[in-house]
Amino acid sequence: MRRPIIAGNWKMHKTIVEAIDLVNRLKRELYALTDLDIVVCPPFTSLSDLDEILEGSNLALGAQDIYWETSGAYTGEVSAAMLKDAGCEYVICGHSERRNLFFETSEQVNKKARTALAHGLSPIVCVGENLKQREEGRTFEVVREQLIESLKDLTEVEMLKVVLAYEPVWAIGTGKTATPQQAQEAQSFIRNKLSELYNEGLAQSIRIQYGGSVRPDNIADLMSQEDMDGALVGGASLDAGSFIEIVKRAGGR
Ligand code: PGA
């Protein structure tokens, strides 16, 4: 049985004071939910404050990005050791906004995931097609390529710490959620691919999230799908009430 995992990707939202307020509410209302992993991914600036608040709670901290070098003249970048120091257990790698707006390639995503793993962080590796690619019938081809390149050279042991997120770009921030069937189809494809790249046992243990306009009213249907192990939630994670509801409904499957 795979343990569900719901992560909130706050993107570039929330000052430190706002982040503390949100996390205090989540902590108060979600403390009893121990049958799934709950992760919040705030901007870098709030990480260490939130780490103090989350100490000993059932909520884990994740970062939204990482750089592969250990230290040096890389203005604006943040290393794995810095993320560990700030209390992170997870880090999102290759979110479509990083791939599209900041031209991140799967090769770079691979370096980020490998660096995260080398420092004991669990990478949440994102893959997904855009609208044009879906309309051209290239969804599986795109997902396959991103998957192979982003996971290149990861060992079986490392893979057990990886979380995958299927995030169709056309569903992110658009209010246009993939249907549970569309999500299942892509996630089952990903699991089959993992079975080919590694083995069936490993493929069955890896958690695959869905991301793209997840809300309280669609999480239960999404979670009912066989290969659905959780969600990466953007917009709806910024509001305590809706994130709490999503987590509760996901836990109840
Ligand atoms: P959204 O974002 O929930 O706002 O669509 C999801 C994501 O980008 O991970």
pLDDT, tens digit, 9 for 90 and up, residues 166-200: 999 999 989 899 999 999 999 999 999 999 999 99
C-alpha angle 58-41-179 in degrees, rounded to nearest 5:
95
Distance 9 CA to ligand 1 centre (A): 7
Distance 73 CA to ligand 1 centre (A): 32
Distance 10 CA to ligand 1 centre (A): 9
The catalytic residue positions are: 95, 167
Asked if 95 contacts 64 with a C-beta cutoff of 8 angstroms, the reply is yes
Distance 101 CA to ligand 1 centre (A): 15
| Residue from 233, 242, 247 to probe ligand 1 pocket by mutation (most atoms less than 8 Å from CB) | 233
Which ligand 1 atom is at minimum distance from the Cα of 212?
A: 5
pLDDT value at residue 99: 96
Q: Whose CA is nearest to atom 6 of ligand 1?
A: 234
Q: H-helix or E-strand containing 146?
A: helix 139-150
The whole-angstrom separation of Cα 56 and Cα 69 is 30
pLDDT value at residue 126: 98
Give exposure, 6-32, as e/b (b: 16+ Cβ within 10 Å).
bbbbbbeebeeeebbebbeebbebbee
| Residue from 40, 41, 172, 242 to probe ligand 1 pocket by mutation (most atoms less than 8 Å from CB) | 172
Distance 242 CA to ligand 1 centre (A): 13
Average pLDDT value over all residues in the chain:
97
* Residue 251 pLDDT level (bands cut at 50, 70, 90): confident
Greater confidence (251 vs 243) lies with 243
The whole-angstrom separation of Cα 82 and Cα 71 is 10
The whole-angstrom separation of Cα 36 and Cα 56 is 16
Which ligand 1 atom is at minimum distance from the Cα of 126?
A: 9
Asked if 62 contacts 39 with a C-beta cutoff of 8 angstroms, the reply is yes
> What lines the ligand 1 site, CB under 6 Å?
9, 167, 172-173, 211-214, 232-236
pLDDT above 70 for 103: yes
Which ligand 1 atom is at minimum distance from the Cα of 92?
A: 9
pLDDT > 70: percent of the chain: 99
State mean pLDDT over 46-62. Answer: 97
How confident is the model over 110-138, as pLDDT tens digits?
Answer: 999 999 999 999 999 999 999 999 999 99
pLDDT value at residue 252: 58
Which ligand 1 atom is at minimum distance from the Cα of 9?
A: 9
For the full predicted model, state whether its pTM sits above 0.95. yes
